[in-house]
Amino acid sequence: SFVKPDAGWKKPRRIQPTPYRLETEEKISSAACGYGFTLLASNTTDITKVWGTGLNKDSQLGFQRSRRDQTKGYDYVLEPSPIPLPLEKPQQTRVLQVSCGRAHSLVLTDSEGVFTMGNNSYGQCGRKVIEDEIYSESYLIHQLKEFDSRVVQVACGQDHSLFRTKKGSVYACGWGADGQTGLGHYNITSVPTKLHGDIAGVNIIQVSSYGDCCLAVSDEGDVFGWGNSEYLQLASVTETTQVNVPRHLPFKIGKIKEAACGGTGNAVLTEEGNIFVWGYGILGKGPNLTETAVPEMIPPSLFGWSDFNSDIFVAHIRCGLGQFAALTNRGELFVWGKNLRGCLGTGRMEDQYFPWRVTVPGEVVDVACGVDHMVSLVKSF
Amino acid sequence: MRGGPGSSPCTSRGGGLVARVPRAVETEAETRRPDPPRGRESLTDTGPAPSGGGALELVPTRVPVLADHPLVQGPRFRRLKIGAGHRLDVKASGVFVLGIGHGNKLLTDLYNCHLTKVYTVGGLFGKATDDFSDTGKLIEKTTFDHITREKLERILAVIQGTNHKALLMYSNIDMKTQEAYELAVKGLIRPMDKSPPIITAIRCLQFALPEFQLEIHCLHETQQYLRKVVHEIGLELKSSAVCTHVRRTRDGVFTLDDALPRTQWDLRSIQDAIRNCQLKVETEIEKTLGHRDNSPVHQLDVQTAESAEGGHP
């Protein structure tokens, strides 16, 4: 049964179709949406740095002690609750970033490496797979420190994890049947291992993954991909449906600044501020474009660009499983894709076939997309 | 028609102008006869021929044709039907479209095109009045030193964003179609029916505390709504603002250049203006209403007029 959360005056509702303000004790600097759960992190030096809410059946939110029975934990967390991290210096370390996958989460700190928790059946938490391990109500939070340099970004795919280090190399662990670990085989990896292939020696500045496909951007503006290609995500370089070694994607669309990988579709942001999409699904160019192997540009006029306002461009791009979110330099949020249970925030329940502005009472600083929900960090005017 | 709807002092400008223009046209038409007076040839008897013989001779002479005489013909323009386009407040100035005679039908077509209008709105920070303009009763005074151009532009971006959503919503297009996507890319989605006032674009032209000037492109608005927008901008910036002037610089296809100032409210200029704008109006109606109705557009015969900038220096 459910225990009523502290904010008992709030009526529970199944669907939230428009942005809803979540009150938090601290200023949140990073948010991540998993498959049915959310992690919020603040870069404070206080003891409580990360809060989690949502599904906790695999302890992806750590151990949440039940109030009724001190020995048991909650399987569902109904409001942002603190996640205790086993930090050596809890009052000095800061949490830089959080990332969530299907049933596991990663917390990146500035001096104590990466903490992983949740399901480890495929080694996605970076520790050895224990047969018949029970993941619910588990206290285990694993710490990963053995990388060639400090980890500066973490990204979670569905059942695998990617780590990007300061030196520009990428490490991966977890499920590899689609080649998403990029290590040259299709087995699971339970220890973070460095990737080679076309990214060997390349300084990678960003990695992204959410489903079974992965993209990495180098400092020179090239994009590399590996993993699942059943939806033409990597069809520009190969006919096979799985790619297990990072391959350079030879797109002639200009220098790429940021990439975002969704479940079936991918998007990149170029230096000029244009978005290119490819893959399968609702890509953002109307209902007629459902799949393409070659990136297609989304007309900037859909983001508010016009002769009247010619200095508007897209600053960030993010992907959820079936939806995309773009942030413009004016702090506006545009979403498109499948509107599962109102996750786009447009107020309507229909799918959105081209970028649509979401009314948010403030400037949107960052956004995180999940399967059927989205979280945005907003600065008030 | 003279007093406009209601008897409040803030009546629309249409009544007065609509009465003045036909009078100007009629009186001028009477005093100026553009065509040279016609003459006709007729044969008259002159009397006995000089060469003698007693027979009468016919000599051709030129005799004025009385059919052209003003007393016979009567006034050239009688009872001109003049209709007004989009309303303009007494306190506002700018382009005001009138239609003469057959042009009234074009006015309805232009109304159905739902084209945007462009206004230049001037505002003043620090005061708030009851009717949002600087001539109203003062309600409160506030400080405004904290306002910067960046803050103003952020608020303008928000206004534009929310109105952009309203634009798409009221246009009644099914968002799921490819057609909707294509119109959205071109920026042609706009409500073709009644809708609340929508601002399609807004930007800051000048900013010199406490004054500022905005350029607003809008649909289905009233000038009072624009003054209210200025007031609300003041509130959003945690201060207050009043509107000093509202000037319409474009109404659909008619811009300031096409408009006639008060000194040119005479027959010749009106006719020239009609001729110059005829093509523009035709193409716009054709483009927007297109194949829906053919007759008024193709039969039109130069009868749309424009009128002038009203007072308020």
* Per-residue pLDDT reduced to its tens digit, B23-82: 776 666 655 555 666 677 777 665 555 555 556 778 888 887 788 777 888 887 778 888
Provide the pairing of β-strand A275-280 with A265-270: antiparallel
State both tokens at A320: 């959820």
Rg (CA), chain A: 20
Considering only the beta carbons, identify the residue of B164, B168, B181 that sits closest to A286: B181
Cβ atoms of residues B170 and B279 within 8 Å: no
Provide the pairing of β-strand A189-194 with A242-249: unpaired
Cβ atoms of residues A151 and A145 within 8 Å: no
Q: Is B184 on the interface with A (CB under 8 A)?
A: yes
Cβ atoms of residues B3 and B242 within 8 Å: no
Substitution target in A282, A290, A305, A353 with the highest count of B β-carbons within 10 Å is A353
Residues of B whose CB is below 8 A from A352: 175
Residues of B whose CB is below 8 A from A332: 157, 161
Average pLDDT of B277-303?
60
Residues of A whose CB is below 8 A from B160: 304, 309
Q: Is B155 on the interface with A (CB under 8 A)?
A: yes
Tell the residue number behind the tokens 């009526």, with chain if given: A11
User: Of B89, B109, B134, B251, which is the active-site residue?
Assistant: B89
Q: What distance in Å separates the CA atoms of residue A34 and residue A79, rounded to the nearest whole number?
A: 15
Q: CA of B225 to nearest chain A CA: how many angstroms apart?
A: 22
Average pLDDT of B102-125?
88
Torsion of CA A104, A278, A97, A255, to 10 degrees: 150
Residue A288, amino acid: N
Residues of B whose CB is below 8 A from A286: 177-178, 180-182
Average pLDDT of A49-76?
91
* Whether ipTM exceeds 0.85: no
From residue A297, how far is each of A2, A307, B255 by CA, in Å? 46, 19, 35
Q: What distance in Å separates the CA atoms of residue B262 and residue B249, rounded to the nearest whole number?
A: 16
The H or E element that residue A38 is part of is: strand A37-41
- Cβ–Cβ below 8 Å for B236 and A309: no
Closest chain A residue to B238 measured between Cα atoms?
A381
* Per-residue pLDDT reduced to its tens digit, A63-119: 998 888 888 889 999 889 999 999 999 999 999 999 999 999 999 999 999 999 999
User: Which of A346-360, B11-25, B240-254 shows the lowest mean pLDDT across its residues?
Assistant: B11-25
Q: What are the helix (H) ranges across chain B?
A: 14-31, 70-73, 103-113, 149-170, 178-186, 223-236, 267-289, 295-299
User: Which of A210-214, A274-278, B48-52, B120-124 shows the lowest mean pLDDT across its residues?
Assistant: B48-52
Residues of A whose CB is below 8 A from B184: 301-302, 354
Beta pairing partners, A77: A54
B309: pLDDT confidence band, cut at 50, 70 and 90?
very low
State both tokens at A257: 């600044």
Torsion sign over Cα B141, B142, B144, B145: positive
Closest chain A residue to B153 measured between Cα atoms?
A330
Q: CA of B177 to nearest chain A CA: how many angstroms apart?
A: 6
Cβ atoms of residues B16 and B22 within 8 Å: no
Q: CA of B217 to nearest chain A CA: how many angstroms apart?
A: 10
State both tokens at A308: 């009247």
State both tokens at B124: 């003043």
B3 in the Ramachandran plot: left (φ > 0), alpha (ψ -120 to 50) or beta?
A: alpha
Q: What is the DSSP letter of B12?
A: -
Catalytic, B89? Answer: yes
* Per-residue pLDDT reduced to its tens digit, A142-176: 999 989 999 999 999 999 999 999 999 999 999 99
User: Which of A162-176, A209-223, B123-137, B295-309 shows the lowest mean pLDDT across its residues?
Assistant: B295-309
How far out from the chain centre does Cα A166 lie?
19
Cβ atoms of residues A78 and A55 within 8 Å: no
Average pLDDT of A320-325?
93
Q: CA of A358 to nearest chain B CA: how many angstroms apart?
A: 8
- Cβ–Cβ below 8 Å for B201 and A304: no
Residues of A whose CB is below 8 A from B182: 286
Specify the pLDDT at position B295: 37
Which of B270, B271, B261 minimizes the C-alpha distance to B309?
B261
Average pLDDT of A297-310?
83
Q: What distance in Å separates the CA atoms of residue A287 and residue B174, rounded to the nearest whole number?
A: 11
- Cβ–Cβ below 8 Å for B161 and A308: no
Specify the pLDDT at position B122: 93
Q: What are the helix (H) ranges across A196-355?
A: none
* Domain boundaries defined on chain A: 251-380
- pLDDT above 80: residue A30: yes
Residue A95, amino acid: V
Burial state string for A133-151 with b = 16 or more CB within 10 A and e = fewer than 16: eebebbebbbbbeebeeeb
- Cβ–Cβ below 8 Å for A352 and B162: no
State both tokens at B291: 């194949």
CB interface of A with B, residues 242-301, below 8 Å: 285-288, 299, 301
Q: What distance in Å separates the CA atoms of residue B224 and residue B173, rounded to the nearest whole number?
A: 29
Average pLDDT of B139-148?
91
Cis status, amide bond into A84, omega within 30 of 0: no
Cβ atoms of residues A41 and A97 within 8 Å: yes
State both tokens at B176: 């799921």
Cβ atoms of residues B230 and B124 within 8 Å: no
Average pLDDT of A236-245?
90
Residues of B whose CB is below 8 A from A353: 175-176, 180-181
Closest chain B residue to A288 measured between Cα atoms?
B178
Considering only the beta carbons, identify the residue of A302, A309, A330 that sits closest to B184: A302
